[in-house]
Amino acid sequence: MTTVASFEINYLQYLSPNGDLVGDKKPNIATNYEHLKSIYELMVMTRTFDTKAVALQRTGKMGTYASCLGHEAVHIGIGAAMEESDVFAPMYREYGAQFYRGVKMSEVLNYWGGDERGSNFSGPQHDFPWCVPIATQCMHAAGAALAFKLRGEQRAAVSVVGDGGSSKGDFLEAINAASAFQLPMVLMIVNNQWAISVPRKKQSAGRTLAQKGVAGGLPCIQVDGNDYIAVYTAVKSALKRAKEGKGASVIEAITYRLSDHTTADDASRYRPDDEVENAREFEPIKRMRKYLTNQGQWNEQLENQLIATCKAEVDEAVEEYLNVPKPEITDMFDYMYADLPHDLEAQRRYALEQEEKSNG
Amino acid sequence: MAKVTMVDAVTMALAHELRNDKDVVILGEDVGINGGVFRATNGLAQEFGEDRVIDTPLAEAMIAGLTVGMATQGMKPIAEAQFMGFIYPMFEQIVCHAARFRNRTRGRLTCPLVIRAPYGGGIHAPEHHSESTEAMFAHIPGLRVVAPSSPSRAYGLLLAAIRNPDPVLFLEPKRVYHLNKEEVEDDGEEYPLDMCFVDREGTDVTLVTWGAMMKETIEAADKLATEGISAEIIDVATISPLDMDTIHESVEKTGRCVIIQEAARHCSLSSEIAANLADQGLYNLMAPVKRVTGYDTIMPLFKMEKKYMPTADRIIDQVRKVMEVS
């Protein structure tokens, strides 16, 4: 018998849970302390935001919300590695990447607060909004990447799915499209171990999820998703490769969902407490703080200042969200089509009349 | 001026837009070198190159998803679903994304795409190749659903669909792809969307139909004319959004209406038209609205498909019933 194909999946980690640099070859970013401090600040800001968003939901001031607790290194790593001209196709908990790209915290709150205007966010206007149907956004990223390739543009697209999303045909079809068309894109799997209540081991018997890209002949790698330096390095490298015309990559970032799936979920029904407690030891913010502190780049005073800054900025965003003017009833109709069809004009008039009546 | 079939007219419109708009690309399975299973894209890959007429892997959801992604980035992709029976894997992308991007982003991202799908029965095709499920898509806000009934309308409406800034599902009645030839000038003139065409004026009864059923409807109207019954024929053309004004105007004149469709009856476009006539045009009616439709059964395999599909005789039968009321 002859072996006609074989593969290996490598694992990338630079920053250990103890905050030590590990491995032989360190990327330059590992000692770019100004950059890492700004990233740490955004991580803390994102967590402060996340905590507040959950509180808003719990107090009836916002709708169902998908927390990003514990994921900060992954999505901020993606955001920092991308250029503005690249296209981001997120799922629905990659706020850190979006904040890095200029989306405002009040816009995220507006979306989860039940207002479509939240998806008309700041930042790159070509970026996709949050995508609820699982993994369908992978194909949008592939379509965007195909457009870039056909136009000869030096741009790439990044999509994100979870470990559950990697089971969807859409994800696998996107891998196939990336392969067949040699698309400039990066397919990220944020493996946070739980797809609502279904654990990673029930998604696939495969040793890794990254290896799903092997079927398409794409380079596939696992990274420590709680290690910002590893995520940033892997995504940066995959994007460079994509823009050099060498095609797409699959990156599986291993992390842990420290929160419930959404505020409508109760993870204690299916997840052991000790597993969550153990995962807290590996979480990304604690790790980055240890590293920066060990390097003499961070201290308690800076930490206290940062916490105060984050709290003030998040409070400001919440104020902005709570004071956003109510949407008009006509908004429901006015963005359906470029030109309002005749039959919708009549419904629009009727809705407006009803609104005027109800307002007295 | 050249006389062309409907499928030729589709090719002419596609070529015209490929020539005149660099953002237009065609993608689908077999659309390239093979020219599509019905040859609707015949010769286009050779003329415009394989970067403009793109053969894709066999994955319908992917074709639709790529199309959505490309459209949101400013291209004007035209995807082909080989048969409407294979469009269902595309359904999620069409419904959840193509139809919604403009609204959910308040106009920041839009989806100016076209998905073409040959539809309907009558060509002795295998299972899953003969459905008429336009109503499933007509129910979705944010979409346009268009079905031409002649070569000239296929040309003009397809141009309008490609140039439209919103997503359009363009359903091609494949049974009449080669039925008639018409003089169609390749002048780039589009036909208006969102309106019905009054195909033939009449005074006694309004016959409302679209797509391939236009053939049987015309046959029925011709026979009825020999009996002294004057039928007005309306080609709906744009199934959604629906131009009820033209239908109401006609029924106001004739007082009677028979709706003819190949699709199953339950929750169909004919249901919508009949309900609208009952709601808004009841006092114009001299007789109940009648419908001639496919049965509420699965479209049978081809030995029985002609029994399923409305015939001119079935149409005449219903017209006689509405004419009995005076």
Each residue of A97-121: pLDDT tens digit?
999 999 999 999 999 999 999 999 9
Catalytic residue, chosen from B97, B128, B129, B139, is B129
User: How many other C-beta atoms lie within 10 A of the C-beta of residue A23?
Assistant: 14
C-beta atoms of B106 and A119 within 8 A = yes
Does the CB of B163 have a partner CB in chain A at under 8 Å? Answer: no
Tell me whether residues B96 and A142 touch, CB distance under 8 A: no
Q: Are B231 and B318 in contact (CB under 8 A)?
A: no
Q: Is B64 on the interface with A (CB under 8 A)?
A: yes
- Which of B75, B96, B243 shows the shortest C-beta gap to A133? B96
CA distance A130 to B104: 10
Tell me the chain B residues in contact with residue A138 when contact means C-beta distances shorter than 8 Å: 65
- The pLDDT score that the predictor gives to residue A115 is 97
Picking from A177, A335, A343, the nearest residue to B66 by CB comes out as: A177
Query: Does B56 reach chain A within 8 Å, measured CB to CB?
Result: yes
Average pLDDT of the residues in B45-63: 97
Q: Select from B25, B65, B165 the Cβ nearest to the Cβ of A142.
A: B65
The whole-number pLDDT of residue A12 equals 97
Nearest by CB: A338 against B25, B64, B166: B166
Q: Note the pLDDT of residue A100.
A: 98
pLDDT band at A45 (very low <50, low <70, confident <90, very high): very high
Q: Which helix (H) or strand (E) holds B152?
A: helix B151-163
* pLDDT for the residue B151: 98
User: Are B106 and A120 an interchain contact pair (Cβ–Cβ within 8 Å)?
Assistant: yes
Is residue B326 over pLDDT 80?
no
Give, as one character, the DSSP assignment of residue A6: -
Q: Residue B59: its chain A contacts at CB < 8 A?
A: 173, 176-177
The string of pLDDT tens digits covering residues B255-270 is 999 999 999 999 999 9
- Which of A305, A303, A314, A261 is closest to A106 using CA atoms? A314
Number of other CB atoms surrounding residue A93 within 10 Å: 24
Q: What does the pLDDT read at residue A228?
A: 98
Interface test with B, best of A136, A175, A328, A344 (most B CBs within 10 A): A136
- Residue A25: pLDDT over 90: no
- Alpha-carbon distance values, B249 to A341, B131, B260 (Å): 18, 31, 18
Average pLDDT for residues B225-233, to the nearest whole number?
97
Q: Which of A11, A58, A270, A349 is catalytic?
A: A270
Is the model's pLDDT at A59 over the cut of 90?
A: yes
What is the pLDDT confidence band of residue B1, given thresholds at 50, 70 and 90?
confident
Q: Which pLDDT band, with edges at 50, 70 and 90, does A360 fall under?
A: confident
The mean pLDDT value for B168-196 works out to 97
Structural tokens at position A143:
């379509």
**Subunit contact B243:A342, Cβ cutoff 8 A:** yes
Yes or no, beta carbons of A173 and B59 under 8 Å apart: yes
> How confident is the model over A322-349, as pLDDT tens digits?
999 999 999 999 999 999 998 899 999 9
| Residues 6+ positions from A359 with CB-CB distance below 8 Å | none
Q: What is the pLDDT of residue B206?
A: 98
Pairing of strands B231-235, B197-200: antiparallel
- ipTM of this predicted complex? 0.95
Q: Which residue in the set A125, A146, A338 is minimally distant from B108, CB to CB?
A: A125
Establish if B287 touches chain A: CB-CB under 8 angstroms. Answer: no
To test the contact with chain A by mutation, choose from B26, B75, B95, B106 the residue with the greatest count of A C-beta atoms within 10 A, namely B106
Q: Per-residue confidence at B17, pLDDT binned at 50, 70, 90?
A: very high
Q: What gap in Å lies between CA B256 and CA B318, rounded to an integer?
A: 11
pLDDT band, very low/low/confident/very high, at B251 (cuts 50, 70, 90):
very high
CB burial string A143-159: b at 16+ within 10 A, e below: bbbbbbbbeeeebbbbb
Average pLDDT score over chain B: 97
The rounded distance, in Å, linking the Cα atoms of B163 and B156 is 11
Residues of B in contact with A141 (CB under 8 A): 69
Instruction: Identify the active-site residue in A47, A75, A257, A287.
Output: A257
Whether the pLDDT of residue A236 is over 80: the answer is yes
Which residue type occupies B293? T
Over range B219-247, report the average pLDDT. 98
Cβ distance of B57 and A129 shorter than 8 Å: no
Q: State the nearest Cα–Cα gap between A259 and chain B, in angstroms.
A: 27
Q: Give pLDDT tens digits for B171-183.
A: 999 999 999 999 9
Confidence of residue B325 (pLDDT cuts 50, 70, 90): confident
Find chain B residues with C-beta within 8 A of A124's C-beta: none
With an 8 Å Cβ cutoff, are B109 and A343 in contact?
no
pLDDT digits (tens, 9 = 90+) for A149-182: 999 999 999 999 999 999 999 999 999 999 999 9
Residues of chain B with C-beta less than 8 angstroms from the C-beta of A129: 104-105, 109
Query: What are the helix (H) ranges across A59-184?
Result: 72-81, 95-100, 105-112, 136-151, 169-181
pLDDT of residue A281: 94
**What is residue A232's predicted lDDT score, i.e. its pLDDT?**
98
Chain B residues close to A122, C-beta within 8 Å = none
Searching chain A, which residue's CA lies closest to the CA of residue B168? Answer: A337
Task: For residue B139, indicate whether it is catalytic.
Answer: no
User: CB contact, 8 Å: B107 with chain A?
Assistant: yes
* Per-residue pLDDT at B231: 98
Contact pairs from chain A to chain B, CB under 8 Å: 132
In angstroms, the separation between the Cα of residue A351 and the nearest Cα of chain B is 16
CA Rg value for chain A = 22
Q: How many residues does this entry show for chain A?
A: 360
Q: Tell me how far apart the alpha carbons of residues B94 and B67 are, in angstroms, rounded to a whole number.
A: 10
Indicate the pLDDT class of residue A306, thresholds 50, 70 and 90.
Answer: very high
First to last CA, chain A: 83
B56-112 pLDDT, tens digit each: 999 999 999 999 999 999 999 999 999 999 999 999 999 999 999 999 999 999 999
Residue A345 CA: distances (Å) to CA of A349, A350, B111, B221, B275? 6, 9, 21, 34, 19
Contact between residue B76 and residue B109 where contact means Cβ atoms under 8 Å apart? no
Q: Taking the CB of residue A191, how many other CB atoms lie within 10 A of it?
A: 26
A136 contacts on B by Cβ (under 8 Å): 65, 92-93, 96-97
Does B129 score more than 80 pLDDT?
yes
In angstroms, what separates the C-alpha of A162 from chain B's closest C-alpha?
19
What pLDDT is stored for residue A121 in this prediction? Answer: 97
B54: left (phi over 0), alpha (psi -120 to 50) or beta: beta
To the query of whether residue A241 is one of the catalytic residues in this protein, the response is no
- The alpha-carbon gap from B277 to the nearest alpha carbon of chain A, in Å, equals 14
Are B84 and B118 a contacting pair, CB within 8 Å? yes
Q: Is B97 on the interface with A (CB under 8 A)?
A: yes
Residue A23: is its pLDDT beyond 90? no
- Determine which of A150, A153, A183, A334 to mutate to test the interface with B (most B C-beta atoms within 10 Å): A150
- Coil/strand/helix, residue B31: coil
Interface of B with A in 205-244 (CB under 8 A): 241-244
Can you give the pTM of this predicted structure?
A: 0.96
Amino acid at site A143: G
B145 touching chain A per CB within 8 A = no
Per-residue confidence band for B2, with pLDDT thresholds at 50, 70 and 90:
confident
- Candidates A261, A287, A289, A321; catalytic one: A261
What was the pLDDT predicted at B47? 98
Task: Answer yes or no: are the C-beta atoms of B115 and B64 closer than 8 Å.
Answer: yes
